[in-house]
Structure 1
Amino acid sequence: MQTKTDVAAGWTPPAGWPAMSRDEVRDLLTGPGQPFEMETVAIDGRETRVWKNAPPSLRAIANMGREHGDRLAIVYEEERVTFDAWFRATAALAHHLRKRGIGKGDRVALAMRNLPEWPVAFFAITSLGAICVPLNAWWSADELAFALSDSGSKALVCDHERWERIAEVRDGLAALETCIVSRAEEESEGTERLEDILGKSNAWIDLNDHDLPEADIAPDDEATIFYTSGTTGAPKGSLGTHRNICTNVLSSTYNLAFAPLRRGEEPPEPTQKTILLVIPLFHVTACSAAMVGYFVSGHTMVFMHHWEPEEAFRVIEREKVNMTGGVPTIAWQLLDHPARCDHDLSSLEMITYGGAPAAPELVRRIEQTFGAAPGSGWGMTETMATVTGHVSEDYLNRPDSCGPPVAVADLKIMSEDGQRELPTGEVGELWARGPMVAKGYWNRPDATEQTFVDGWVRTGDLARLDEEGFCFIVDRAKDMVIRGGENIHSSEVENVLYEHPAVTDAAVIGLPHRQLGEEPAAVVHLAAGTHATEGELQTWVGERLAHFKVPVRVVFTDTTLPRNANGKILKKELTSLF
């Protein structure tokens, strides 16, 4: 049955859809002998459902990637790297790190933009049993120094741009012994040039064809420390295992397998795709939910120096890109940029995103404009990305949902004090459980105790679940505006603003009010060539939502709103506009 939001999204289910219930599809996909078969194992003393066929470690995935041979693995501007060349470079760097004393449990930081060297370094580090610490490439010198010091990283692999920042604080990092810098014209004091170890990317194919160094790695051994986005307070290092990240390899494909079965079709044979990956690899969405699985499937990744819509159009056309996305902002810019019609984008089959809520209007426009399947999912750094997801008709049918949990995950909605599970349909704090949930926070026992409870992670998201288990993220708890005792979920107002034909970016924040506590205010970016006034947008919202939810102020900005690398709007930076 269509809901009000379905009608607003302008989508009518085709005749006969769905041909199977989600429970029927789940039972079919996870049955004995099927690719998504499950089993129960003990993780930290708790019985946990896991994918039976998930790779046991990132080392195993590196060896699987090797099997794709001369297929292109990475495209970056004029550089093209095959899977064979990537593996040779990965093995060579792993042997070099071993000679530098890197072994199981040692932390090795990785700080660079999306370059062909990034997946080389990532798999070289983790194949040794060492812990990779991806650092935010947007961080300042002090922020980079914090994470390097907090993690106790023994070695660092970075690009020249990051090294110029880290060099300022290098003397204060007592644990850091080895620094390997890529794309530096000359060697800096106390560093090695990555090119002196591997050569440039176009020469990796000429490296010796060695196996990875020997290493004993179990699924629940520690593999990564991803730092939280740190929109409030200092970032915390989320400590992930090989099982956590390898779970996503099957979780992502599990979500994709639903769509054809729901239509009553047989799932097609797996085919290798070309994917424009524009979100930073230091974020779990790009690394865990995307890149790691691509080395299993043999997909080609295309990187860009930095995101720019018109350049993205040229790349999509030139490389015949099948999939892209990352965060909703990227999808909006692809839709609304005036140069879109100047390029052949017919190769696009799917546009997916996570990291931030998307407006229902976006879902419909992806299908109508590109003829591509929209896809969305939800996860967080503490879950190594994917927990929920849906694509195609299921997403079009529930455009305000991030999908149901994958078969190995559980969700529940809890009261504010965390003591009571709430009934279906009620809004409360979202808790998640499954083999993707991280072990805890690095060196933060107090924070770990507050967030990780008996195998569940308290997400801090306000959400509800419907009768079929679909999850609806209502807001971040800290983003809720409370006006005179009335709760205003900022995402609800933002979604209405996005429905306005001129609005391409919007955020709602709370402004202090002497009597009411807070009042809602909006910051809006308009599409090129369009016009809207504050009063017009206030009327637009007032016609669709209760009066107390209408923004008392609307400020327009010439640029899209500031975001962290995870795609989340930095709302604390918006208050100065008022």
Structure 2
Amino acid sequence: MTPTPVGPSALSGRIAATLALDARGPFLEFHGQWRTWGQLAATADAVAAQVPAPGTRVGVLLRNQPAHVGLLVGLLRAGACVVTINPSRGVDRVRADLAGLGLPILAGTPQDVATFADDGGPRLVLTTTDLGEPVTASGELPADLGAARPQVAVEMLTSGTTGPPKRIPLGYEMLTRGLVGAKHYESSRDDTPRLRSGVAIVNAPLVHMGGLFRILQCLYDGRALCLLERFAVDDWADAVRRHKPRTVSLVPTALRMVLEADLDPAVFATVRSAISGTAPLSPDDADAFEAKYGVPVLVSYAATEFGGGVAGWNLADHQAHWSAKRGSVGRAHAGVELRVVDAEDFAPLPPDSEGLLEVRAHQFGDGADWVRTTDLARLDADGFLWILGRADQAIIRGGFKIRPEDVRTVLERDPRVRGAAVVGRPDPRLGAVPVAAVELRTPVDDVEATKVVEDLRAGAARVLAGYELPTEIRVLDALPRTPSGKVDLGAVKELLATPVTDQET
């Protein structure tokens, strides 16, 4: 049966149209088994039938599993406001989050609901175990459903790399405009609803913007997908080998893992480009990846607040400009304007000036205002953008301003360093001092770690000003990371809050 669009926007209608195209067509592969578009439609219809009205806020305990894709699609089909809940944050924090949210409906697998659901009053609970399996409704809707948000598709929980996670409202219209503009990396701009060839590999967490947007792209484009429960090099390489995608998406951490894995270059026989975003990527790593596997890396710039990407490289720009513009995150996507403004009076600055980045994106509609970010940036006369760090992470040491990204980049030049993080530590005399944590490519003992730290300090001293040098560099077995693969700077700051070595100068 053809589902009827019931949502408040073109996105809900587009999902409904895609689900009606071919019930027998393959939609999602998971652990080697395929689910069809018809199975997705059956789950989505059953979920949508339980939403009392567009804009109803529904919490979803969201993992990279087929059942969760069905729950998500059904709620968007119904025009609900999806509130993403990250189960990996731990039982106590998730329960406290749910208690504070007061959601009238909660969705997830039976196991997750049993683990995380609180006793915070009446609630309708929707559970399923897989696409095409029954959707069970238990409990009851509260008399007061709370304030509806009919224009909001998703309240997305940010990764919280620099502080506590917060929820960002992403509108239906914003996401639709973002999906239409996502053809930046593709040669085909055909927007007709149809099932397209090829299989996209989704390896980013669905609870974060990268994974969610990838799922929405597949729905919008009518493209099948291979869903990985989590990123592992062997599983990912197997998926690439079998499905032969033209484009792959890798966050910097995953890209470095693939780079270090010495995969057979034949794995990449069909891959024309690798898109990398969500966190800074060293241009040296990008060049090394291309040299090793023959695949150019197209760096992108995105933020949850923008509902996806607003700038990035494409193949044509990469071939023409990478050697001269390496380190840039590319140029503005179609329908997006970028500018750099003074951090004090917010006046627009000329090309090649350093300041705060402002974005005016088509995702926000015609005539939208400029949105000021906390990213320090430089924009050249050709429109190429460099992200220089975050203004709210700047370290002021005795009146001198330090950009942590500058220090991190220098530390990561050492071939032994897989990744580094630089944060400020309060200092009673200087206000704050930079401290660093590094993760090495191969484990070392304490004696060798001391030697590595000495070498890093000596190398940094040849490049950085004295006030920029970290007062402590600590070698960790692994840098703490968020589920999306970003370094968790808040956790790093906690780890380095108290000195444990006598490295200060």
Q: What range is the shorter-chain TM-score in? A: 0.7 to 0.9
- Choose which of 497, 501, 514 in structure 1 pairs with 2:411: 497
2:151 is aligned to 221
1:538 aligned onto 2:457: yes
Does the 8 Å CA contact 1:335/1:366 hold for their aligned counterparts?
A: yes
Q: 1:376·1:389 contact (CA, 8 Å) conserved in 2?
A: yes
**SS of 1:57 mapped into structure 2:** helix
- Counterpart selection for 1:413 from 328, 340, 356: 340
> Is 1:382 aligned to 2:330, yes or no?
no
Q: Which secondary structure does the structure 2 equivalent of 1:254 belong to?
A: helix
Partner of 1:549 in structure 2? 468
User: Are 2:171 and 1:253 aligned?
Assistant: no
Using the TM superposition, give the Cα deviation of residue 557 of structure 1 relative to its aligned residue in structure 2, in angstroms. 1.6
Question: Does 2:211 match 1:273?
Answer: no
Q: Distance in 2 between matches of 1:374 and 1:70?
A: 35
Question: Which consecutive residues of structure 2, in runs of 5 or more, have no partner in the other structure?
Answer: 1-8, 137-149, 189-194, 500-505
Q: Cα distance 1:236–1:508, how it changes in 2: closer, same or farther (>3 A)?
A: closer
Give 1:131-170 correspondences, 5 Å limit.
131-149=81-99, 151-167=101-117, 170=118
State the secondary structure of the residue aligned to 2:333.
Answer: coil
Amino acid at match of 1:104: P
CA displacement, residues 72-102 of structure 1 (integer Å, 9 cap, x when unaligned): 321110331133332233223323x14xxx2
Match of 1:310 in 2: 234
1:345/1:501 CA distance change after superposition, 3 Å: same
Percent of aligned positions with the same letter in both sequences? 24
Which residue of structure 1 aligns with residue 4 of structure 2? Answer: none
User: Which one of the candidate residues 85, 94, 102 is aligned to 2:48?
Assistant: 94
The 2-side partners of 1:271 and 1:148 are apart by 38
Deviations 1:170-197 (A, max 9, x none): 212x3x521123349xxxxxxxx99433
Aligned to 2:140: none
* 1:266 paired residue number: none
Deviations 1:396-439 (A, max 9, x none): 3433222222121222223335642233222222222223249x
Are the equivalent residues in 2 in contact too, given 1:65–1:296 (CA < 8 A)?
A: no
Identify which of 123, 132, 140 aligns with 1:177. 123
Report the AA paired with residue 347 of structure 2.
R
The structural deviation recorded for 1:146 is 4.9
Who is 1:346 aligned against? 269
Q: Does 1:373 align with 2:302?
A: no
1:285 is aligned to 2:210: yes
What is the TM-score when the length of structure 2 is the normalising length?
Answer: 0.81
Higher relative contact order (CA 8 A, sep 6+): 1
Q: Alpha carbons of 1:502 and 1:275: their partners in 2 closer, same or farther (altered >3 Å)?
A: farther
Deviations 1:234-255 (A, max 9, x none): 5432222211111222322124
Select 1:324's aligned residue among 244, 248, 259. Answer: 248
Residues 284 and 385 in structure 1, CA contact (< 8 A), matched pair in contact too? yes
* Kept in 2: contact 1:428–1:462 (CA 8 A): yes
Where in structure 1 are there 5+ consecutive unaligned residues? 1-54, 185-192, 199-219, 259-269, 439-452
SS of the residue corresponding to residue 339 of structure 2 reads: strand
**Aligned-pair distance for 1:62?**
3.8
SS at match of 1:436: helix
2:172 to 242, 251, 261: 242
Contact 1:104 1:130 in 2 (8 A): yes
For each residue in 1:358-395, what CA deviation from the matched residue of structure 2 results, as whole angstroms up to 9, or x when unmatched?
Answer: 11112112211121231222221211111111134635
SS in 1 for 2:134: helix
Change (3 A) 1:123 1:111: same
8 Å CA contact retained: 1:337, 1:528 = no
- The one-letter amino acid of 1:285's match is G
CA contact (8 A) 2:109 2:129 kept: yes
Quote how far apart the aligned CAs of 1:327 are: 1.6
Please state how far the C-alpha of 1:357 moved relative to its aligned partner. 1.2
Mapped pair 1:558 → 2:455? no
Give the AA of the match of 1:534: V
**Match 2:314 to one of 379, 388, 391:** 391
Determine the C-alpha separation between the residues in 1 that align with 2:186 and 2:469. Answer: 38
Q: Which amino acid aligns with 1:410?
A: E
Alignment TM-score, normalising by the size of structure 1:
0.72
Partner of 2:62: 112
**For the residues of structure 2 that align with 1:179 and 1:196, how far apart are their CA atoms?**
14
Q: 1:350 to 1:66 in 2, by over 3 A?
A: farther
Residue from 76, 79, 87 that aligns with 2:33: 79
Structure 1, residues 276-305: CA drift from partner, whole Å, max 9, x if none? 2211112122212x2211223333322222
Cα drift, residue 491 of structure 1: 1.6
Return the match for 1:429 from 338, 353, 356: 356
SS at match of 2:363: coil
Contact 2:248 / 2:274 at 8 angstroms: preserved in 1? yes
- Between the aligned partners of 1:78 and 1:523, the Cα distance in structure 2 is 39
> Is the CA contact (8 Å cut-off) linking 1:361 and 1:498 kept in structure 2?
no
After TM superposition, give the deviation of residue 333 of structure 1 in Å. 0.7
Look up the SS of the partner of 2:89 in the other structure.
coil
- Classify 1:539/1:298 alpha carbon distance in 2 versus 1 (closer, same or farther; 3 Å): farther
Cα separation, 1, equivalents of 2:377 and 2:474: 28
Tell me the matched-pair count: 461
C-alpha change, 1:68 and 1:520, in structure 2 (3 Å) is farther
Shift of 1:514: 4.0
**Is the CA contact 1:107–1:151 (under 8 Å) kept in the aligned structure 2?**
no
For the 8 Å contact 2:76–2:153, the answer to whether it is kept is yes
Contact (CA 8 Å) 2:159, 2:484: kept in 1 or not? yes
Give a deviation string over 1:309-355, Cα, whole Å, max 9, x none: 233333333444544334210100111135x3498443433321211
Indicate the RMSD between aligned Cα atoms, in angstroms.
3.2
Instruction: Return the alpha-carbon distance in structure 2 between the equivalents of residues 161 and 543 of structure 1.
Output: 55
Shift of residue 509, structure 1, vs aligned partner: 1.6
